[in-house]
Structure 1
Amino acid sequence: MKQLVALILLLVSVNVLGTDNLLQNTYLRSGFTLNGKWNYIVDVYETGYYNYRWEPHDGSTNPGAGAFFLNEKPKSKKDLIEYDFDKAPTLLVPGDWNSQKEKLFYYEGTLWYKKSFDIPEFDEGKRYYIHFGAVNYRADVYVNGKKLGMHKGGFTPFNFEMTGLVKAKGNFVVVRVDNKRAADEVPTLNTDWWNYGGITRDVMVYALSKTFIEDYSLQLDKENKKLLNGYVQLNGESKANTRVSLNIPELKLNKEYFTDEMGRVNFTVPVKKLSLWSDSNPKLYQVRFSAGDDEIQDKIGFRQIATRGADILLNDEVVFLKGICIHEENAMRGGRAYSMEDAKMLLGWAKELGCNFVRLAHYPHNENMVRLADEMGLLVWSENPVYWTIQWENPETYKKAAQQLSELITRDKNRASVIIWSMANETPQSDARFTFLSNLAEKARSLDNTRLISAALEVHSTVPGGNTMVIGDKFADVVDILSFNQYYGWYWGDVENIKNIRWEIDMDKPVVISEFGAGALQGYHADSLTVWSEEFQDLLYKETLPVLYRIPQISGIAPWILADFRSPRRVLIPYQDGWNRKGLISETGNRKKAFYTLQKFYSEIEE
Structure 2
Amino acid sequence: MKCPPVGQLLKETILVPFPIESALSGIMRYHDRMWYRRTFTIPPEWAGERVLLNFGAVDWEATVYVNGHTVGSHRGGYDAFSFDITDQLNGGANELIVNVYDPTNLGNQPMGKQRLYGTGVWYTPASGIWQTVWLEPVPAAFITHLQMIPDIDRQTVQLLVSGQGITTHTIEARVRHANAFVAGALGGVGSPITIPIPLPHLWSPDDPFLYDIQIDLKSGSTLVDHVDSYFGMRKISLQRIGDYVRLMFNNQFLFQMGVMAQGYWPDGIYTAPTDEALRFDLEQAKALGYNLVRLHMKVEPARWYYWTDRLGLLVWQDMPAMRDGYVPPDADRAQFEIELKELINERRNSPAIIMWILFNEGWGQYDGVRLTSLVKSWDSSRLVDTASGWREEWTGDVVDRHSYVDPEAPKPQIDRASVTGEFGGIGLKIPGHTWGIVGYAYKWRKSGAELQGAYLSMFLGLQGLKGHSRLERRRVHSACRHGGRTQRLVDLRSSCNEDRPGCAQGCPSASDCHSRAAHRAPTVDFNSA
Whether these two folds match at TM > 0.5 is yes
1:137 to 36, 60, 68: 60
1:533 to 446, 451, 465: 446
CA contact (8 A) 2:429 2:482 kept: no
CA contact (8 A) 2:14 2:27 kept: no
CA contact (8 A) 2:428 2:444 kept: no
- What is the aligned partner in structure 2 of residue 558 from structure 1? 475
The equivalences for 1:205-220 within 5 A come to 205-220=135-150
1:298 Cα deviation after fit: 0.3
Residues 120 and 140 of structure 1: CA distance in aligned 2, closer, same or farther (over 3 Å): same
1:146 to 59, 65, 69: 69
CA contact (8 A) 1:388 1:425 kept: no
1:193 Cα deviation after fit: 2.0
Separation in structure 2 between the aligned mates of residue 444 and residue 530 of structure 1, nearest angstrom: 37
Matched, 1:89 2:3: no
Separation in structure 1 between the aligned mates of residue 371 and residue 56 of structure 2, nearest angstrom: 23
Report the 3-state secondary structure (helix = DSSP H, G, I; strand = E; otherwise coil) of the residue aligned with 1:559: strand
Aligned partner letter, 1:278: S
Matched, 1:329 2:264: yes
1:277 Cα deviation after fit: 1.0
Residues 246 and 103 of structure 1: CA distance in aligned 2, closer, same or farther (over 3 Å): closer
1:427 to 362, 369, 374: 362
Count residues with an aligned counterpart: 485
CA contact (8 A) 1:360 1:383 kept: yes
The equivalences for 1:501-520 within 5 A come to 503-520=410-427
Residues 202-242 of structure 1 show CA distances to partners (whole Å, capped at 9, x for unaligned) of 11111111111112212212x72412212112211xx2432
1:450 Cα deviation after fit: 0.6
2:371 to 440, 446, 467: 440
Residues 123-178 of structure 1 show CA distances to partners (whole Å, capped at 9, x for unaligned) of 45322211111112222221111122222222221112212012343112111223
Separation in structure 1 between the aligned mates of residue 95 and residue 25 of structure 2, nearest angstrom: 27
Report the 3-state secondary structure (helix = DSSP H, G, I; strand = E; otherwise coil) of the residue aligned with 1:516: strand
- What is the aligned partner in structure 2 of residue 484 from structure 1? 401
Residues 452-504 of structure 1 show CA distances to partners (whole Å, capped at 9, x for unaligned) of 11145335xxxxxxxxxxxxx443x3221332322146xxxxxxxx7xx6653
- What is the aligned partner in structure 2 of residue 462 from structure 1? none
Aligned partner letter, 1:172: E
Separation in structure 2 between the aligned mates of residue 579 and residue 349 of structure 1, nearest angstrom: 22
1:510 Cα deviation after fit: 2.7
1:521 Cα deviation after fit: 4.0
Matched, 1:229 2:175: no
1:581 to 492, 496, 500: 492
Separation in structure 1 between the aligned mates of residue 136 and residue 267 of structure 2, nearest angstrom: 33
- What is the aligned partner in structure 1 of residue 252 from structure 2? 317
Matched, 1:449 2:384: no
Separation in structure 2 between the aligned mates of residue 229 and residue 567 of structure 1, nearest angstrom: 38
1:198 to 128, 132, 137: 128
Residues 504 and 228 of structure 1: CA distance in aligned 2, closer, same or farther (over 3 Å): closer
Separation in structure 1 between the aligned mates of residue 478 and residue 55 of structure 2, nearest angstrom: 28
Matched, 1:353 2:288: yes
- What is the aligned partner in structure 2 of residue 341 from structure 1? 276
Matched, 1:603 2:515: yes
2:308 to 367, 373, 395: 373
Residues 235 and 225 of structure 1: CA distance in aligned 2, closer, same or farther (over 3 Å): same
1:118 Cα deviation after fit: 0.9
Residues 231-262 of structure 1 show CA distances to partners (whole Å, capped at 9, x for unaligned) of 112211xx243211111134442322234xxx
Residues 137 and 294 of structure 1: CA distance in aligned 2, closer, same or farther (over 3 Å): same
- What is the aligned partner in structure 1 of residue 340 from structure 2? 405
- What is the aligned partner in structure 2 of residue 304 from structure 1? 235
Matched, 1:246 2:158: no
Separation in structure 1 between the aligned mates of residue 267 and residue 462 of structure 2, nearest angstrom: 31
Report the 3-state secondary structure (helix = DSSP H, G, I; strand = E; otherwise coil) of the residue aligned with 1:478: coil
Separation in structure 2 between the aligned mates of residue 355 and residue 487 of structure 1, nearest angstrom: 20
Residues 534 and 71 of structure 1: CA distance in aligned 2, closer, same or farther (over 3 Å): farther
Aligned partner letter, 1:113: Y
Structure 1 length-normalised TM: 0.73
Which blocks of at least 5 consecutive residues in structure 2 are unaligned?
116-120, 219-223, 433-441, 523-529
CA contact (8 A) 2:30 2:125 kept: no
Report the 3-state secondary structure (helix = DSSP H, G, I; strand = E; otherwise coil) of the residue aligned with 1:336: coil
Residues 179 and 423 of structure 1: CA distance in aligned 2, closer, same or farther (over 3 Å): same
1:187 to 100, 111, 118: 111
2:457 to 527, 530, 543: 543
CA contact (8 A) 1:322 1:602 kept: no
Aligned partner letter, 2:345: T
Question: 382-391 or 98-107: which moved more?
Answer: 98-107
CA contact (8 A) 1:127 1:163 kept: yes
CA contact (8 A) 2:130 2:270 kept: no
- What is the aligned partner in structure 2 of residue 44 from structure 1? none
Residues 245 and 315 of structure 1: CA distance in aligned 2, closer, same or farther (over 3 Å): same
CA contact (8 A) 1:200 1:338 kept: no
Matched, 1:294 2:219: no
Separation in structure 2 between the aligned mates of residue 213 and residue 357 of structure 1, nearest angstrom: 32
Separation in structure 2 between the aligned mates of residue 530 and residue 187 of structure 1, nearest angstrom: 27
Report the 3-state secondary structure (helix = DSSP H, G, I; strand = E; otherwise coil) of the residue aligned with 1:512: strand
Matched, 1:165 2:88: yes
Separation in structure 2 between the aligned mates of residue 274 and residue 588 of structure 1, nearest angstrom: 41
Report the 3-state secondary structure (helix = DSSP H, G, I; strand = E; otherwise coil) of the residue aligned with 1:100: coil
RMSD between superposed Cα atoms in Å: 3.0
Report the 3-state secondary structure (helix = DSSP H, G, I; strand = E; otherwise coil) of the residue aligned with 2:456: helix
Separation in structure 1 between the aligned mates of residue 269 and residue 160 of structure 2, nearest angstrom: 41
Separation in structure 1 between the aligned mates of residue 409 and residue 259 of structure 2, nearest angstrom: 22
Residues 146 and 316 of structure 1: CA distance in aligned 2, closer, same or farther (over 3 Å): same
Report the 3-state secondary structure (helix = DSSP H, G, I; strand = E; otherwise coil) of the residue aligned with 1:396: helix
Residues 247 and 347 of structure 1: CA distance in aligned 2, closer, same or farther (over 3 Å): same
Separation in structure 1 between the aligned mates of residue 431 and residue 5 of structure 2, nearest angstrom: 54
Residues 15-36 of structure 1 show CA distances to partners (whole Å, capped at 9, x for unaligned) of xxxxxxxxxxxxxxxxxxxxxx
Separation in structure 2 between the aligned mates of residue 113 and residue 102 of structure 1, nearest angstrom: 12
Report the 3-state secondary structure (helix = DSSP H, G, I; strand = E; otherwise coil) of the residue aligned with 1:544: helix
1:370 Cα deviation after fit: 0.6
1:367 Cα deviation after fit: 1.1
Aligned partner letter, 1:284: L
CA contact (8 A) 1:456 1:483 kept: yes
Separation in structure 1 between the aligned mates of residue 377 and residue 325 of structure 2, nearest angstrom: 24
Q: Percent identity?
A: 21
1:201 Cα deviation after fit: 1.0
1:546 Cα deviation after fit: 2.7
Separation in structure 2 between the aligned mates of residue 389 and residue 316 of structure 1, nearest angstrom: 38
Separation in structure 2 between the aligned mates of residue 550 and residue 598 of structure 1, nearest angstrom: 20
Aligned partner letter, 2:491: N
Residues 591 and 268 of structure 1: CA distance in aligned 2, closer, same or farther (over 3 Å): same
Structure 2 length-normalised TM: 0.83
1:458 to 361, 385, 389: 389
Structure number with larger C-alpha Rg: 1
Separation in structure 2 between the aligned mates of residue 107 and residue 534 of structure 1, nearest angstrom: 36
- What is the aligned partner in structure 1 of residue 527 from structure 2? none
Separation in structure 1 between the aligned mates of residue 66 and residue 325 of structure 2, nearest angstrom: 34
Residues 414 and 556 of structure 1: CA distance in aligned 2, closer, same or farther (over 3 Å): same
- What is the aligned partner in structure 2 of residue 278 from structure 1? 204
1:418 to 331, 337, 353: 353
Separation in structure 2 between the aligned mates of residue 530 and residue 419 of structure 1, nearest angstrom: 31
Aligned partner letter, 1:145: G
Structure showing the higher strand proportion among its residues: 2
